[in-house]
Structure 1
Amino acid sequence: MNAQATNRPPPRSRPGPTLLVALAALAAAPGCVSARSSSGGGETTKPPPPTRTIRTSDIALPRGYVIEVVATGLNFPTGVTFDDAGHVYVTESGYSYGEVFTTPRLLRIEPGGGTTVVATGKNPPWTGVAWADGAFIISEGGVTEGGRILRIAPDGQKQTLVAGLPSFGDHHTNGPVVGPDGFIYFGQGTATNSGIVGEDNHKFGWLKRHPEFHDVPCKDVTLTGAALTSSNPLTPRDEDDKVTTGAFVPFGTQTQKGQVIPGKVPCSGAVMRVPVRGGTLNLVAWGFRNPFGLAFSPDGKLFVTDNGYDDRGSRPVWGNADALWAVTPGTWYGWPDFADGRLVSQDRYAPPGGPTPPTLLEAPPNPPPQPVALFAVHSSSNGIDIARDPSFGFAGEAFVAQFGDQAPDVGKVLHPVGFKVVRVDLKTGVIRDFAVNRGKDNGPASRLKSGGLERPISVRFDRTGRSLYVVDFGVMLMDERGARPQQGTGALFRITRAATAG
């Protein structure tokens, strides 16, 4: 397709991040949450639509910007990159929450929107792609065989740069991005929501496949001995079977106060790096929950988006925002005991009617930093890139793809959250809408019955810096059984200034 739309004036400025989180918390005060049903963007009792209609006129942008469709019919797309000649490539995940498995693929997007397969895999999800040193670098999530970083030549030949990443769990191997030092940087998500394996991990599918799996700290940690009891989903016929599980250990394993869990690399909840041709794996920083998007600013600073805790599992944490971090190497960023730069062991993070989350570590490895910005709770703020060309505008600001809430699995929301692209002033932390579906209500196009965005998952500027590409994962609804993704509904968009559109 080649449809274009010129859109409305710039959306109104948004409050700063602290106020945004405060307003979200007020709107979802415990009394309200317990009294009202959830109303997430994907929640439905109806089957997903058989097809997806796209109309770029249904997407609002600041005045002077245009959006066009580059490709449609993609199957769970996750990342986009460009080779030295400027050709466009996309990764298809091969897996979606909801335990839907397909084939991970690297596709070249041809003029007119057609696709050519460059490479395929068998260890999904492929969560992102970068171009470096004449080849593609792919983060392989590895729900079946463990996470890897792959180097794929233009002819499809594969080389494994990193293997054995702890990626069987809730979150996967993410990224990658090429640093100014020439290294490949990537994120590794945690196995669990908040440090303890529980029933929710069985619903995600992996506890049955890998009952021995758990989170791995990057450095030695000393435990408080806190442990939580849940039903045993591995023995469903025995309703009275209960198990008690501690932190950083397999399901059903207890821990003791003062017990030391040895750290090692690779590890959970971390940003790591590896030479572009392979070699020693290095820890950059840790204490993240799900460091999904990575981007370097023009002055060489690394920024990372981090998905906040959910209200689920044996140790639910309520009302925690997604974060944007400026990464200082060697620093611990707070997981599993801090949220928004604060201890989670306080009433503000207790689910309505539930207990306050217990502290898991006897002492934090370091005082955790404060986030650069806080996104809306459950917005699933994922892929990130930073504008560098003045002709596009907003040079030095970050653009972030918000996948959107997965309520009620992650916790209740009163209104849809996310489902758009926002921009962040890295100096002030102020967040503003950039690409958002038109209408008085927020949400994915399938909910609004429009032709706009569904679930933006990644953004990337092209090699010139004058075009912003937006990867849209496609339709993913939520019902009482969990995620219900719709294959073949993903899309790739391109946003440009009207003066540079072509």
Structure 2
Amino acid sequence: MRRRLGTRLGAVAVGSLALFGAACADRSQPMATEVDADHREGHSNPMLYVAQLTPLNNSGVQGAAAFAIHNGEFTARVFATGMAPNLVHPQHIHGLPNFQNSTCPGPDAANRIPNSPANVANPDQLISIQEGLPEYGPVRVHLDNRLTAAGAPGTLPTANAAGVVNYLQKRPLAELQDALGDFQLLPLEEKVVVLHGGFVTGADGQQRYEPSLPVACAEIRMTDETELRQRQENVLVVPAGFRAEKVVGGLSFTTEMAFDDQGRLYVVEAGGGFQPVEFRAPRILRIENGQTHEVINLSNHVVPPVVGLAWDNGWLYFSHRDTDDSGALSRVRDDGTELQKLITGFETAKAEHFMNGVEIRNGWVYFGIGQAGNSAVVGMDIAPFVRQNPGLRPQPCRDLVMRGHNFEGPNFLENGDPVLTGPYSRLGQVRQEGETVAGVRKCGGAIHRFQPDDPEGSLQMVAWGMRQPIGLAFNQQGELFTGENGYDVRGLRPVNDEFDATLRINPDQPGRWYGFPDFSAAREPLTLDKFESPDRLQAPIFRVGQDGSRERLGTFLDFIIDHQASGLPAPDRNLVVGLHPFNSSPSGIDVAPQAWGAMAGGIFVAEWGDLAPPTNPLRERSAGFRVVRMDPNRPQSRVEMFVQNRRPGPASEQGARG
């Protein structure tokens, strides 16, 4: 039985995975992809791995291990001879952190730690489990009856009377990866298998069984057939019962998509990048039977990039830049006729964060817009946008009272000399202690809505105090959800956050402040030490008093808003639905329909991925480049993997198109 899943959720799967293909993989052959449910067996090729065991500590153990990933299941098998008969033998997958290649230890490792293993006659002739750690790393997965992720193992295999271990076990890959936490099981070919348990001669001359003694090791490698296929095909790992299917190819910079009431798919080609430079024509396309049909070429109508897209009652609504680079939202008939600009003039869209996430409900057009800059202070990190628009600054939705903190950085618009810049200010403009920054109607870092027949008159701010809300989705109860691209470690006020977030919004209670720029993605105060960046990355802070006096405070992360004077309560942490890895950039979002059974009502989010090192020089490995899910009834929980690449990071780094 095969069923195509969802309408809007199908769109998210397509949109998010199109980012894998179009934005992050082989740019000459971008593709849109859709996740389908397929309950037939054998509908996808397994990923196969082998590991040829070699003996350690003169054990004489021989054999092999094999692993398979198929239909969302992880299968492990070990066959070994020469093991101590009728005894329990621990066996593990070991792995080094940060995607380093694990290897098997050589004989010299036996001399690494004095008297290890302990209480044996000749410890310098034996490799203990601790002495092998620099080569193969800590235990990551116990090859036991449950494929337990580190910690206390379950039931371990016992060799038979002939000294043979014959082991086989399965576990859902997503479940195993969730149990591993931040450590990534894939790529498996960077890991090793180690078997343990052998007899040693004790210091008293007596033989005894040492269950932790390494007796065999094998470096895992992908089979030649699997490696070749992975380079030729997509590299997606999907859950059991699902498969990734190419819908259309030949797209360029796809950013969003929507379905009409007939189930026809529309796709936006952005036509631009961060800067207002046109790489290719911005277009809206209709996809039918694997073919693209141009609805409208927007080259002569808007400034790219075109980002959001939604269909309603014969109209396609989309967000873009206007001729002055400000954020705007327009609509066009789905046959390409009658183009209308509805609203414009959102100044913060002149920076790196655009208007996006168009969604329509009960006659209202909803959209998100990011704040200018990283954390409410203009600096060198957005210099190209400031040079284009020198008055560019972050803009709040409500009046804010400042604490007088100003940040020192180069005046890149003039001579490069040091200059102080305050929060919510243009470059070189200071904010005094107690000064009020006026809120603006078309503010950034917010979700807005309007009615199409009177866009300017009906414009309302729904929620604010977010860095970059991106992607919107309603559930059946009318709750609104958005992904938030959190802080970066950049600019004059870098924030070394722990997470990005998916947030719950109540449209019936508009005006709630969500904590930016003084609270983290998990809505904790940024005054906590864990959010500090190294001093070398922070700008000196000067407090400017009401009399204009200046006091150097140092380099540290602190509140910049007087919350009490501004009437801002601390944000409600229960409004955080899911916590994503820091810099993973949650973007496309949707809610699973009732047809998804046990998954119905779940939130699915595409993590666009990081742009490190420019966005975070402290990051050691990629984040994002996957689709995750979360339960909206479990606030502040970490997201669970749903679809990901075989290796962390973009498909273009894996010799495949994604």
| Alignment TM-score, normalising by the size of structure 2 | 0.59
Given that residues 175 and 187 in structure 1 are in contact (C-alpha distance below 8 angstroms), is that contact kept between their aligned partners in structure 2?
Answer: yes
Structure 2 residue 305 is matched with structure 1 residue 105: no
Match status 1:388 vs 2:593: yes
AA at the equivalent of 1:171? H
What corresponds to 2:241 in structure 1?
64
Instruction: Provide the rounded CA distance (Å) in 2 between the counterparts of 1:281 and 1:56.
Output: 47
In structure 2, do the counterparts of structure 1 residues 225 and 84 end up closer, same or farther at CA, with 3 Å as the change threshold? same
SS in 1 for 2:649: coil
How many angstroms apart in 2 are the aligned matches of 1:146 and 1:409?
Answer: 24
Check if 1:414 corresponds to 2:617.
no
Find 2:606's aligned residue among 401, 410, 430. Answer: 401
Instruction: Give 2:622's aligned amino acid.
Output: P
Q: Quick check: 1:11–1:61 contact (8 Å CA) kept in 2?
A: no
What pairs with 1:25-424 in structure 2 (closer than 5 Å)? 57-97=234-274, 100-102=277-279, 103-120=281-298, 121-142=301-322, 144-156=324-336, 157-166=338-347, 167-179=349-361, 181-202=362-383, 205-235=384-414, 238-239=415-416, 241-279=417-455, 280-328=458-506, 329-339=510-520, 340-353=522-535, 354=538, 355-363=555-563, 365-370=568-573, 371-391=576-596, 394-411=599-616, 412-424=618-630
The aligned residue for residue 84 of structure 2 is none
**Structure 2 letter corresponding to 1:187:** G
Partner SS, residue 308 of structure 2? strand
Contact 1:16 1:430 in 2 (8 A): no
- The structure-2 alpha-carbon separation of the partners of 1:99 and 1:150, relative to structure 1 and needing over 3 Å to count, comes to closer
Partner of 1:36: none
List alignment gaps of at least 5 residues for structure 1. 25-52, 453-502
Offset at 1:392?
A: 6.8
Query: Aligned partner of 1:111: which letter?
Result: N
Q: Which amino acid is 1:198 matched to?
A: G
Task: Provide Cα deviations, 1:13-69, integer angstroms capped at 9, x if missing partner.
Answer: 37989x968x89xxxxxxxxxxxxxxxxxxxxxxxxxxxx99655211111112211
| Cα 1:127–1:15 shift into 2, 3 Å | same
Separation in 2, partners of 1:112, 1:375: 33
Give the Å deviation of 1:391.
4.2
SS in 2 for 1:293: strand
The answer to whether the 8 Å contact 2:303/2:325 transfers is yes
Tell whether the 8 Å contact from 1:135 to 1:154 is kept in structure 2 after alignment: yes
1:12 match: secondary structure? helix
Secondary structure of the 2:512 match is coil
Q: Distance in 2 between matches of 1:98 and 1:163?
A: 18
1:280-306 CA-partner distances (Å, limit 9, x unpaired): 100101000000011111111011111
**Residues 139-176 of structure 1: CA deviation (Å, up to 9, x unaligned):** 21458531111111123321122111121012111110
Please state whether the residue corresponding to 2:396 is helix, strand or coil.
coil
Q: Distance in 2 between matches of 1:348 and 1:162?
A: 41
**What are the Cα deviations for residues 190-229 of structure 1, in whole angstroms up to 9, with x where unaligned?**
0110001111111xx2111001011111111100111001
Partner Cα separation in structure 2 for residue 351 and residue 282 of structure 1: 36
Max radius of gyration: which structure? 2
Q: Which residue of 2 aligns with 1:13?
A: 175
| Partner residue of 2:655 out of 422, 432, 449 | 449
Aligned to 2:197: none
Q: CA deviation at 1:382?
A: 0.6
Tell me the distance in 1 between the aligned counterparts of 2:282 and 2:296.
11
State the 1:273 CA deviation.
0.4
Structure 1 residues 211-250: Cα deviation after superposition (integer angstroms, max 9, x where no partner): 1011111111100111001012223xx45x1111001111
Cα drift, residue 8 of structure 1: 2.9
- Secondary structure in 2 aligned to 1:106? strand
The separation in 2 between residues aligned to 1:390 and 1:146, in whole angstroms, is 40
Measured in 2, the distance between the counterparts of 1:97 and 1:255 equals 29
CA distance in 2 between partners of 1:200 and 1:143 (Å): 24
Equivalence for 1:481 = none
> Is the contact between residue 518 and residue 559 of structure 2 (CA under 8 Å) also seen in structure 1?
yes
**Aligned partners of 1:125 and 1:142 also within 8 Å:** no
* Whole-angstrom CA distance in 1 between matches of 2:602 and 2:321: 28
- Is the Cα–Cα contact under 8 Å of residues 627 and 641 in structure 2 kept in the other structure? yes
Whether the 8 Å CA contact 1:309–1:320 is kept in 2: the answer is no
CA distance in 2 between counterparts of 1:221 and 1:76 reads 38
With CA pairs under 8 Å and 6+ residues apart, which has the higher RCO, 1 or 2? 1
Gaps in structure 2 of 5+ consecutive residues: 1-30, 37-42, 45-70, 74-171, 185-229, 539-554
For 1:455, the equivalent position in structure 2 comes to none
| Aligned 8 A contact 1:220 1:263 in 2 | yes
Provide Cα deviations, 1:293-339, integer angstroms capped at 9, x if missing partner: 11111111011111110000011111342111111332100001111
Cα–Cα, structure 1 residues 98 and 158, in superposed 2: closer, same or farther, change >3 Å? closer
The amino acid of 2:644's aligned partner reads V
One-letter amino acid of the structure 2 residue matched with residue 74 of structure 1: L
Change (3 A) 1:336 1:391: closer
On the 8 A contact 1:323/1:372 being kept in 2, the answer is yes
Report the residue type matching 2:325 in the other structure: E
Which 10-residue stretch deviates more, 224-233 or 389-398? 389-398
Partner residue, 2:645? 437
Q: Is the Cα contact below 8 Å between 1:91 and 1:105 reproduced in 2? A: yes
**Helix, strand or coil: the match of 1:248?**
coil
Distance 1:391 1:193, change over 3 A: closer
Greater fraction helix: 2
8 Å contact from structure 1 (residues 20, 376) kept in 2: no
Amino acid at match of 1:357: L
SS across alignment from 2:353: coil
Q: What is the alpha-carbon distance in structure 2 between the residues aligned to residue 276 and residue 175 of structure 1?
A: 16
CA contact (8 A) 1:127 1:141 kept: no
8 Å Cα contact 1:106/1:117 also seen in 2 = yes
Q: Distance in 2 between matches of 1:374 and 1:351?
A: 20
Distance (whole Å) between structure 1 residues aligned to residue 516 and residue 368 of structure 2: 14
Q: Residues 588 and 605 of structure 2 are in contact (CA less than 8 Å); yes or no, is this contact kept in structure 1?
A: yes
Do the aligned residues in 1 keep the contact of 2:283 with 2:294 (CA within 8 Å)? no
For 1:55-88, what per-residue CA distance to the aligned partner results, in whole angstroms no more than 9, with x for missing partners? Answer: 6552111111122111222121100101222211
Q: 1:14 to 1:341 in 2, by over 3 A?
A: farther
The percentage of aligned residue pairs carrying the same residue is 35
